[in-house]
Amino acid sequence: MPYISTAESMLLNPCKRQQPQACAPAFSFRHVLSLTQNGSLFSELVGRQQISGNLDSPEGGLDALMQVATCEDAIGWRNVTRLLVFSTDAGFHFAGDGKLGGIVLPNDGKCHLENNMYTMGIHHDYPSIAHVAQKLRQKNIQTIFAVTEDVQHLYESLKEMFPKCAVGTLSNNSHNILQLIVDAYKALTSEVIMDHSTLPEGYQIEFSSSCKDHVLRTGENGKRCSNISIGDEVTFQVSITATGCEVGSGESHIIIKPQGFSEKVKVILQPVCQCHCSQHRVADSPSCNSKGALECGACRCKVGHAGTFCECDESMLDQEDMSGLCRRDNTSEVCSAHGDCVCGECVCHKSRRSPDHAYYGKYCECDNFRCDQFQGLLCGGRGKCECGVCQCFPEFTGSACECPLGLQSCMSRSGLLCNGRGHCVCGTCVCTDSRFQGPTCEICPSCPDICSAYRDCILCRAFRQGRGEEECERDCGHLNLTLLGEPSHLPQERNGHIFHRCKEKDTDGCWVHFVHQAEHGDQSAYIFVALERECPAGPDVVLITALVSGSIVLLGLVLLLVWKLFTTIHDRREFARFQRELDKAKWDMDDNPIYKSAITTVLNPKFKAQ
């Protein structure tokens, strides 16, 4: 998960169908048939293949490309033009996607085929695009992607990184696959692109080309010739320039080759930075027996004289006789092409690489610098180079003295060889369990922590927590437990072995202390458990109640004081405003027009008449 369903039925038949036939279990890469000229066998085996299924759309195409490129013997690659056709209707997973499934080890770029199946699909992450491109370039493989239209844009983007790559649109029923391959192959073979390895610092390189139209091209266009066919002749010219003598006097090199071809040229780069010394030439120097000029510390002899000091008269000896004395046999070169034949004897050259490098021997057939290297050192710095063969010091062996005879470098901190999880090969541990890595097979990025791994067994064995009694005895009965009192009684060291101290929480929230020592790989030898647990103290109810009650009372008093303060300030402001209004008032003594008296006078008209 999450790439395939891990249900048992789905592992056997991921498509849930039985007719016309069940699907094949999911796999990362399967090798069916090596390269062959038997077309009928190819058709028969392709027709037998069963489809498979998984949960996500992207597939492990980059895994397949990596295995096809690296498993040269299984695939049957020969040292000729190599063409790879990749047909699919889905995208591809790349480096980093494996983390979703818990895979953290990067792809090592090596062949891992066993019984024609890729075995590291669940251990190694998918390779990166750049890693696959580098392998294809290294193995001189040209790639044709025959893909459906909906994923064509994904593979078009790979053309910028993959060497000599073509992309064609595959129909839904794949009826155009043959014509697509023919067209893509013609497109690849009609173009030659020059490439080179990483250029050493301090050098510049320029390409120029003359294609069949005889037009000189420079810059990036100078690296390629297009629209060519078999029989056309094209010319590439390469110019390498040293920007200055600061590049150093040591030898470096660069590989120049056409993409997709096995032929390549190795160019040795060595700048010439010596001063000109010919101006100090001494003619007829006594150092040269007055028969030559002393120039740049060496004798340049006159015609008819030879030798380091011009001591040999060539007229006295036949030239063929002299050169014959400087050959090991009739087919070899004079002085093995590493020296000059002077008066019938070889005068060996000095190496231009270093003053310490020299040719020697009767025929200059030996040297002290062309031996195998290890870690950038001649004979690994653990032996002497004698006539092209490393003579190793007593405690080392190998063609480059790369292998120590002792096992000390493979011993782990626990005193076990490769930590009990591998075997020592040439001073390096080869881990038998792919999950482990490191110099002594002690590193396991995907393994659970050792303390967490034993937590449940410690709790059920020592404290009767977690698992039931039968399950605990079945899964944890093999552990050798020693129960102690306090954590201070736990051992620090025993018989020189290192212990792992652990501190884990139990189901009650208490800390349990124990010490673990592993011996013989994953077999637990000793586990010491402290029965006294470190439990956190319970809460002080009285103190908490007092603090809460006091806080409530204090908060109420503060709110009451704040309310009283605001009320007082408001009353004082209202009284002051009333006083100001009272001072502004003006009283008028006239009758109020709206005043009505409380006395009503009524006149009786009859009373006046009487």
Q: Is the dihedral of CA 340, 346, 350, 352 positive or negative?
A: positive
Provide the sign of the torsion angle of the four alpha carbons 506, 508, 509, 515, taken in this order: negative
Per-residue model confidence as pLDDT tens digits over 65-116: 999 999 999 999 988 888 999 999 999 999 999 888 889 899 999 999 999 9
How far, rounded to the nearest angstrom, does the alpha carbon of residue 221 sit from its chain's CA centroid? Answer: 33
Predicted pLDDT of residue 76: 94
CA–CA gap between residue 561 and residue 586 (Å, rounded): 41
Residue 441 predicted with pLDDT over 60: yes
Of the ranges 48-62, 123-137, 292-306, which is most confident?
A: 123-137
Higher pLDDT, 254 or 316: 254
The whole-angstrom separation of Cα 369 and Cα 387 is 8
- CA distances in angstroms from 136 to 69, 116, 192, 511, listed in the order given: 6, 21, 16, 55
pLDDT at residue 520, rounded to an integer: 45
* Total length of the chain: 610
**Cα–Cα dist 307/289, whole Å:** 11
Residue 539, pLDDT above cutoff 80:
no
Query: Where residue 363 falls among pLDDT bands split at 50, 70, 90?
Result: confident
Nearest Cα neighbor of 516 from 494, 500, 531, 503 is 500
**403 by DSSP, 3-state: which?**
strand
Q: Which residues contact 237 (CB under 8 A, 6 or more apart)?
A: 207, 208, 209, 210
Q: How confident is the model at residue 283 (pLDDT cuts 50, 70, 90)?
A: confident
- Collapsing DSSP states into helix, strand and coil, what is residue 92? strand
CA 36 to each of CA 29, 39, 113, 139, 271: distance values in angstroms, whole numbers, following the listed order: 19, 8, 19, 19, 48
What does the pLDDT read at residue 146? 92
Range in 81-85, 266-270, 306-310, 394-398 the model is least confident about: 306-310
Report the distance separating Cα 150 and Cα 283, nearest Å: 81
Q: Which of 434, 452, 451 is nearest to 443 (CA)?
A: 434
Q: Do the Cβ atoms of 249 and 208 come closer than 8 Å?
A: no
Q: What is the pLDDT of residue 610?
A: 54
Answer whether 238's CB lies under 8 Å from 213's CB.
no
Determine the angle formed by the axes of helices 61-70 and 129-138, rounding to 10 degrees: 20
Digit-coded pLDDT (tens) for 400-430:
888 888 888 888 877 788 888 888 888 888 8
Mean per-residue pLDDT, 227-250: 79
Q: Residue 124 — very low, low, confident or very high, per pLDDT cuts 50/70/90? A: very high
Q: Quick one: tokens of 382?
A: 């653990």
- pLDDT digits over 470-485, tens only? 888 887 877 888 888 8
User: Residue 131: which H helix or E strand, with range?
Assistant: helix 129-138
159 confidence band (pLDDT: 50, 70, 90): confident
Rounded to whole angstroms, the Cα distance separating 327 from 441 reads 54
Q: What's the one-letter identity of residue 321?
A: D
Residue 521 has what pLDDT? Answer: 44
What separation in angstroms does the CA of 544 have from each of 539, 548, 549?
8, 6, 9
CA distances, 501 to each of 442, 490, 511 (Å): 17, 9, 13
**Of 172, 196, 181, residue with least CA distance to 255:** 196
Cα–Cα separations (whole angstroms), residue 609 to 602, 604, 605: 16, 9, 7
Residue 323, H or E segment: helix 319-325
CA distance 446 to 189: 46
Backbone angles phi and psi of 470, in degrees to 5 = -70, -45
Task: Write b or e for each residue in 353-391: b if 16 or more Cβ atoms lie within 10 A of its Cβ, otherwise e.
Answer: eeeeebbebebbbbbbebbbbbeeebbbebbebeeeebe
Q: Of the candidates 426, 428, 378, 379, which has an alpha carbon nearest to the alpha carbon of residue 401?
A: 379
Distance from CA of residue 178 to its chain's centroid?
37
Cα–Cα dist 111/120, whole Å = 10
Task: Please give the Cα distance from 469 to 484 (Å, whole number).
Answer: 21
**What's the mean pLDDT in 261-288?**
79
| 3-class secondary-structure state, position 304 | coil
Question: What is the residue-averaged pLDDT of the chain?
Answer: 83
Helix (H) or strand (E) holding 178: helix 177-189
Cβ 103 vs Cβ 97: under 8 Å: no
DSSP state of 61: H
Q: What is the mean pLDDT of residues 515-539?
A: 70
**Range list of H helices, 405-521:** 450-463, 469-476
Q: Which residue has the higher pLDDT, 537 or 190?
A: 190
- Does the pTM surpass 0.85? The reply is no
Backbone angles phi, psi at 491, to 5 degrees: -70, 150
297: helix, strand or coil: coil
